[in-house]
Amino acid sequence: MNNEVILSVRDLHVKFSLRGQQLHALRGISLDIYKGESLAIVGESGSGKSVFVKNFNGLLDKNGWIDSGHIYYLPKDAEAACCTARPEEKMLAGQYTWDLAALKTDAEWGSIRGKEIAMVMQDPMTSLNPLKTVGWQIEEALHLHQHLYGEAAHKKTIEILDDVGILDPERRYKQYPHEFSGGMRQRAVIAIAIACNPRILICDEPTTALDVTIQAQILSLIKKMKEKYQLTTIYITHDLGVVANVADRIAVLYAGDIVEVGTSREVFYNPQHPYTWALLSSLPQLGVKGEPLYSIKGTPPNLFQTIRGDAFAPRNPYALEVDFEHRPPYFEVSPTHKARTWLLDPRAPKIDPPAQIKHIRSARKPAQGAGKETVKRTGEPLLSVRNMEVAFGNKRKAFVAVKGVSFDIFRGETFGLVGESGSGKTTIGRAIIRINPMTAGEVLFHGKRISGKIPPELDRLVTQKIQMIFQDPMASLNERAKVDYIVSEGLMNVHRKMQPDERQGKVAKALADVGLLPEFAARFPHEFSGGQRQRIGIARSLIMEPEFIIADEPISALDVSIRAQVLNLLSELQKEHGLTYLFIAHDLSVMRFICDRIAVIHKGVIVELADTEKLFEHPLHPYTRSLLSAIPMPDPDAEKNKILEIYDPSIHNYAVDKPCWTEIEDGHYIMANGEELQEYREMLEERPFGQN
């Protein structure tokens, strides 16, 4: 790692004015960022990650300001600094720096944004202008920051599109953002940032909404661009698998303060702060199936109030008395590793980190099966899907989103459906619950057909007994309604004669079942955290006393610690109420922890279905193998050396020998033709002795 400091933050305090009160968002952060490094900033939502980096290019919300502190930056041309931005007493690498904390106007920030420090936002669709072509938006950055025009700008744009892996760049140059897939839009946003020719590239959750395979490609692309354009990269993320892949160093933020900073290997293999222990322990990859995941108890502190002592102390099971009285200083573990915890004081008792953390180096093959009994699949399935087909559009130009899908889900099991965006996962879930009409096939519930036109009595029964938990807890809740109404709306529709007292009692019980207080019923959704909003969505499903719940990406928008809480909650509710789940997700590490069986879907067709451990240990279909190879693991050594398997559908020769859905061994199904079945059987025979 280069020892030349390119940006130095010193004792930075940032405040916001909200509802007549001051929120202390950053509480005296100091951090050096080195030229050419990849720094990852991790922490829960609200910890201050995005606020911290927005100070680097003047993008703080209008209600926020730098209360004190400095951000010293070494620009390409230090002599170009304006007088208000260059305190001559501070030098980096023997050159005068700009103090970004002193910049006030857009005119002053104009020489920094994009040209010196560029940013890739979390949602590429909101970052792109829907009315302009992608090529025009990249060229605009070239005009502003590299002063390229005409043919030179066009040629450079095509080169950048090609660099970021967009195929057929001449054609794509003329297309609009809505014509790009999610992964391609993220590539386009990276292309615009690269066109600015910056020194520092900030990536704010660049892969959160992407599938594991696309995520792996984007991470590989950013690393490639970093080398080609000699960038310093800063990643903001809560996905520790991503961190292990990309980071040279890691800074862990909690309640507006950096509690630990070190190299990637130091933070993963030798973490020192109890908050870092808690984040790592919450990972599904380190969990034991059938046992609760570790989750951080309590909630982050109220930053409207003055924090006394260590901000993490109320949630820290290892807290000492001094933690509640005095803020700990940094203790140096190595020249590159320090942590703000009293446990490192020579006078503190010796406390070993949690046992889960010791398994990080073996996270790819953990003891996943311990303590978990496989659901006995006997008798009739609770729900059956037979030859489901779902198409959109008219008959002349129909898009078939789901083609000939069949599977059974048995009472009490968690059945996983995994695949990339656009594969048809959510479409299947919505077709089961009859939001999306089917064009062919049928769905059976308790052996009765519930698809198509059904009697009103059965319709009411299905509405009650099959519920859905949606991906975005904020978008799925009525922001103008109180929690009491949101949770009980379905109940009022099905049981219209129910008395208010009985209804309120059921609301209170449903809220209690998901760990929320009865008084929360009088609040609005915006008054809750993301994890609490998802609990409200689960309570809304539970109040109907369902047998079957479709959980559509219920944790993809949540932090790692909140994910653990929601996964534990779903498992507890399953045991308590005898629920059956269809769990839809693209995060296979989560699927392995919670699912009994998993079906893998690609472009509307299920290509493989097996017991979870069998699928992970012996994947047969090349698409399944590509998904498994892309799973981000919290192990820097394994992550940096892993080899991605890229799935190419053209490897299948189905011109004459057509594929069919075949049970290749007990409970293990695959979509394959005769030649492929022979190959897969040989793969199974080559398994180590004693493995099924």
Residue 110 makes CB contacts below 8 A (sequence gap 6+) with none
In angstroms, the CA 584 to CA 597 distance is: 12
pLDDT score of 317: 94
In angstroms, the CA 503 to CA 495 distance is: 9
CA distances from 359 to 284, 287, 593, 613, 633 (A): 12, 10, 15, 18, 12
Amino acid symbol at 70 = H
Residue 543 makes CB contacts below 8 A (sequence gap 6+) with 487, 488, 490, 491, 506, 507, 510
Phi and psi of 324, rounded to 5°? -90, -5
For the chain, give the number of residues.
692
CA distances from 190 to 35, 123, 252 (A): 20, 12, 25
Q: How many helices (H) and strands (E) does the chain have?
A: 22, 26
pLDDT tens digits, 86-107: 444 465 656 668 899 988 888 8
Amino acid symbol at 647 = Y
Eight-state DSSP code of residue 514 = T
| DSSP track, 521-536 | GGS-GGGS-HHHHHHH
Query: Residue 73 forms beta bridges with which residues?
Result: 7, 98
Phi and psi of 33, rounded to 5°? -115, 130
Taking the chain, what is the end-to-end CA distance rounded to the nearest angstrom?
A: 46
Amino acid symbol at 549 = I
In angstroms, the CA 143 to CA 129 distance is: 17
pLDDT score of 376: 59
Find, among 250, 240, 245, the residue nearest to 278 by Cα.
240
Q: What is the dihedral of CA 590, 594, 599, 600, to 10 degrees?
A: 10
Query: Residue 236 forms beta bridges with which residues?
Result: 41, 204
In the numeric block, which tokens belong to residue 440? 């062919």
Mean pLDDT by 10 residues, the chain (692 residues): 86 90 93 95 87 92 91 74 47 72 87 89 80 94 90 94 90 91 85 91 82 80 89 89 90 96 95 94 83 84 90 95 96 97 95 83 50 60 95 82 94 92 88 92 94 90 89 78 90 81 88 83 81 84 90 79 83 90 87 92 95 92 92 85 86 92 94 94 77 57
Eight-state DSSP code of residue 113 = B
Amino acid symbol at 216 = A
Query: Residue 200 forms beta bridges with which residues?
Result: 117, 232
Find, among 50, 46, 44, the residue nearest to 276 by Cα.
44
In angstroms, the CA 55 to CA 66 distance is: 8
